Structure 1
Amino acid sequence: MTKNQKDNLFLLIKSLSKSEKRQFKLYVGRLGVNSDSKYLNLFNLLDKTDSYDEIVILKSGIVKKQQLANVKSHLYKQILISLKLNPSHQNIRSQIREQLDFASILYHKGLYKQSLKILDKAKDVAIQNEEKNLAFEIVELEKIIEAQYITRSINTRADELTIQAKELSSLNVIASKLSNLSLQLYSTILKTGYVKSKDESEEVKRYFRARLPKYKIQQLGFREKLWLYNANLWYNFLLQDFKNCYKYASKWVDLFYENPNMIQLNPVFFLKGNNYLLESIFFMRNKPKFLEVFEQFKSAIQDSSFPKDENIQSISFLYSNFHDINKHFIDGSFKEGLDLIPKIEKTLTQYRTKIDEHHKMIFYYKFASLHFGAGNNKECIKYLDKIISNKSLSMREDLLCFSRVLNLVAHYEAGLDYHLDSLLRSTYKFLIKMNDLHEVQKEMIKFIKGLQDIYPHELKNAFINLHATLKQFEDHPFERRAFLYLDIISWLESKINRKPVDQIIQTKYAEIWSKKLS
């Protein structure tokens, strides 16, 4: 049976580098009996094929159908063991765990002093590197050894271990509560996007206050501060308080620059912190600051000392390209940004197994928005259709909704109004279903629906009236989110003044910054 490259074993083999494949074969070949084993032959077959097909495997005669599941499972495990032994996959955490395993073996052999010596060194390393969960696990094993056996340790040993366990446990509880809170807030924004009403806003505030643990900032270590800034960041993103988003994203990134060794140990969090910092600056429309931070970010990830595994490379690709596009949205330089699209699409295929569908669709929305801003409405529709036609998509509801609203506007602009009625009906039904039919969307749909009854010489006044109606929502705490996804105000001004939308945005941006600099 063909599984179209979705088989876990096949994906793992295809993710291996040449050196990792070579190491696996050396690892397997260390025992002569493995040289012609079923699982090694299966590895060689899957390594050479472009897609996973069980029919091809069975026809090869390597393994019988009844044996296939067990051989695959064994091969999967052996590859992971081989990867674990690879120096490129070893870090402080794996080294501490290895020492903990060694100490456990010595403990079970009755070599208690040797076990305690290893544990004491491993604990120091864990605490220095903010691995408090591992440090707590080490202390608990130390307590077991001290409690069960006469080790003639120092007299104050019991008190010392008790205090250490209590302090580590307290900090681990705070970190756990903060990470839980952060995850729940992140889940909310992924599902629904920004708050849409006063009730939602109050609910988020109550939720946050009820679950934020009590703490003293001076007593928190790196890990606790990281989760604290993370939780506050998502809280403020939900409320669209971008100044506070910038505040906590800055604290997050600065925390890494103050503790550079943590970049090596937690590179993903370093990348995410920079991503949110750039996103908050983007929403504040401060391009000079955006470019400054973006250059610093690119310099950091291009440094030879920065970790380079597959996961980090795919995340770096995502964030670098998201913000490469975003910089053109700030000042309306859409046409300049169009060159990025084919380059990103080409590289996107290389990361097809690493980047989830949600992030691919965000790329498509950004591509569509670039084309809309540049006046290429048919190209805009092409990318929006990739989102709208994806029925199994699990994506932020607000992006799904605004994809449809932008699709309506792009169809109107492209002169493709022969099935505008059906688009209006489907968009209206979708927004109702998503409970996302708010004033801005209502006014947009009502306007487009009424266009067929407006004479050409009345169009300008119709645009002026809609502009006046929507302008009052531009700073509304819950309606303004519509303008974060689609600058309807600038589009209307382009229609009123008969100028391209990018020219309108560029002029407005220049005026804003000339006032700030004067």
Structure 2
Amino acid sequence: MPNRSSDALFQLIKSLEKSEKRNFKLYIKRNSASEDLQSIQLFDALDKMEEYDEAQLLKKSKSLKKQQLSNAKAHLYREILSSLRLIRQEENIDIQLHEQLDHARILYNKGLYLQSLKVLDRIKENAKEHNQITFLLQVLFFEKTIESLHITRSMQDRADRLTAEVDEVNDHLRLVSTLSNLSLQLYSWYIRNGVARNEKDEIAVQEFFETHLPADLSGCTGFYEKLYQYQSFCWYAFIRQDFLLYYRYTQKWVDLFEKEPFMLGIETAHYIKGMHNLLGAHFDLLNYPKFIETLRQFEEFSHSAIVTGNVNNRIQTFVYLYISKLNKHFLDGTFTEGLELVPYIEEKLREYWIYLDRHRILVFYYKIACLYFGSGDYERTIDYLNKIINWKVDLRTDLQCYSRLLHLIAHYELGNYGLLEYLIKSVYRFMAKMENLSLVEEEIFRFLRKSFNLSPDRIRPELEKLLEKLKKYEKNRFETRAFVYLDIISWLESKVRNVPVQDVIREKYLEGHRRG
């Protein structure tokens, strides 16, 4: 993965499509000045670079002096955004409403108060139709300003009606703010820590959730109140590993868009995230038929104009669609077949590297490592796990811990016993420090330490003992995370039976499919 450039202008130019670049140059030429022609030279120089290099940039832009560069870049940045606004204004309801609000302000500044009020009335209707309550509040405050400064005679009970409208919008906004804050805080907790590791974690999350959840949810009548309510319950359930509750609220989340399909074009990213979580819920519940059906729907959606015509939607859909495609191979035990996805995923990670957050990249690396592990390629497993272990990040401590544990098991499979003694101590210390040691992990470490002193004929009985012990923890809610991140039961069964781990998982899938 290349180093990320922090230069905002460079990132913006690299995000432009061919049509947008062409439009920018036409826009500049229509408004040409010496400064703008210099902007085109700067634009071309940056566009040709693979990575941002200021020294190289100054060498290519001979008319620019170093002390001018900062201002020139700021000017170019503004010009690009202005050109994009002209061609993208029809795509977003918020951009349309902003433009209409600008028109109302221009009319007001011209002293045309009644015309301004007519525009504001149209904005209100448009905002209500599209659930844009923050715009409603802006419009209402503008209307109040006009009514309080000018005698418009537009309506006899204007003051009472405006006051009532503002109070109603404020009530909705308070609920949206409270629930969106709760959703964000719970998601942030998960990104930092992963799922609840013990009873202490669960109590802390439960207390936070119950303290910040509005006592009366009957006021959740609008789209956004429901969206953030469902998201809050979704994260709460997932952190506690209550997969059934997680499924119920992810389904409600997605169904919200089915009931108001026009919101798909307004809040596409929320729909994409909802589909990702619905697929995750089916995966966690091992509900293969519904997983496949939802995956089919999501892939179909990925080809829609809503996705293909928007860079952000394309990237987010790629991330969640391919995480689910990898999960499919984990469910049905086709690990070797799943490796065919890796080159394409790697290509897309390179293509989207300036957009992707570190968390998503770590998840891909871990899942690819698991794919190689399930296929029996332990060398490649270690390569991908090293990408996680050597990447110093302060999020998903659970992913960091399980990467180290799988790394340890891969070295065990390769027979790297000289390295194992050091690794066992190192990984155990790391997981203990992160408070990430469960009973399952303690048992695994106990077995690995003991294995050094066991003769080959005694290994299998000890593996069988470990398997029996761990099976007792499968229904323990605080131990399930060990089985979610690493199918340790199937790995042990493969060792006991001396068959590849993907064969064991494939057999379980086929048996479940026959019963289903």
Identify the TM-score tier after normalising by the shorter chain.
Answer: over 0.9
List per-residue Cα deviations over 1:11-40 (Å, max 9, x = no partner).
111111111111111111113424763323
Q: Does 1:458 align with 2:444?
A: no
2:404 maps to which residue? 404
Q: Does 1:18 align with 2:12?
A: no
Aligned-pair identity in percent equals 43
1:425 maps to which residue? 425
CA distance in 1, matches of 2:36, 2:151: 52
How far did residue 418 of structure 1 move?
Answer: 2.2
Tell me, yes or no, if the aligned pair for 1:29 and 1:35 is still in contact at 8 Å: no
5 Å matches for 1:273-292?
273-292=274-293
How far did residue 5 of structure 1 move?
Answer: 3.8
2:164 maps to which residue? 163
List per-residue Cα deviations over 1:114-151 (Å, max 9, x = no partner).
11010010011001100001111101111111122100
CA distance in 2, matches of 1:358, 1:210: 28
Q: Which moved more, 1:53-62 or 1:142-151?
A: 53-62
How far did residue 269 of structure 1 move?
Answer: 0.6
CA distance in 1, matches of 2:399, 2:90: 37
1:38 maps to which residue? 38
Amino acid at match of 1:198: E
5 Å matches for 1:263-412?
263-306=264-307, 308-390=309-391, 392-412=392-412
Tell me, yes or no, if the aligned pair for 2:220 and 2:226 is still in contact at 8 Å: no
Tell me, yes or no, if the aligned pair for 2:493 and 2:504 is still in contact at 8 Å: yes
1:188 maps to which residue? 189
How far did residue 331 of structure 1 move?
Answer: 2.3
1:509 maps to which residue? 509
- Does the residue aligned with 1:453 lie in a helix, a strand or coil? coil
Amino acid at match of 1:301: S
CA distance in 2, matches of 1:58, 1:331: 55
CA distance in 2, matches of 1:398, 1:303: 35
CA distance in 2, matches of 1:426, 1:500: 28
CA distance in 1, matches of 2:513, 2:51: 53
1:239 maps to which residue? 240
List per-residue Cα deviations over 1:29-52 (Å, max 9, x = no partner).
113424763323211221223332
Q: Does 1:250 align with 2:284?
A: no
1:102 maps to which residue? 103
Evaluate the alpha carbon distance shift between residue 406 and residue 228 of structure 1 in structure 2; reply closer, same or farther with a 3 A threshold: same
List per-residue Cα deviations over 1:174-223 (Å, max 9, x = no partner).
00100000000000011101111112112211111111113444751111
List per-residue Cα deviations over 1:344-391 (Å, max 9, x = no partner).
11222111111122211111110110111111111111111111111x
Tell me, yes or no, if the aligned pair for 2:307 and 2:313 is still in contact at 8 Å: no
Q: Does 1:132 align with 2:105?
A: no
CA distance in 1, matches of 2:141, 2:17: 39
Tell me, yes or no, if the aligned pair for 2:302 and 2:314 is still in contact at 8 Å: no
CA distance in 2, matches of 1:217, 1:248: 17
List per-residue Cα deviations over 1:365-421 (Å, max 9, x = no partner).
10110111111111111111111111x223311111000111111111122222111
Q: Which consecutive unaligned segments of at least 5 residues does structure 1 have?
A: none
Larger RCO (CA under 8 A, 6+ residues apart)? 2
Tell me, yes or no, if the aligned pair for 2:43 and 2:76 is still in contact at 8 Å: yes
2:86 maps to which residue? 85
The aligned length equals 513
Tell me, yes or no, if the aligned pair for 2:90 and 2:96 is still in contact at 8 Å: no
Amino acid at match of 2:304: D
CA distance in 2, matches of 1:100, 1:209: 39
1:487 maps to which residue? 487
How far did residue 243 of structure 1 move?
Answer: 0.8
CA distance in 2, matches of 1:149, 1:35: 44
2:443 maps to which residue? 443
Q: Which moved more, 1:380-389 or 1:183-192?
A: 380-389
Tell me, yes or no, if the aligned pair for 2:100 and 2:123 is still in contact at 8 Å: yes
Q: Which consecutive unaligned segments of at least 5 residues does structure 2 have?
A: none
How far did residue 88 of structure 1 move?
Answer: 6.3
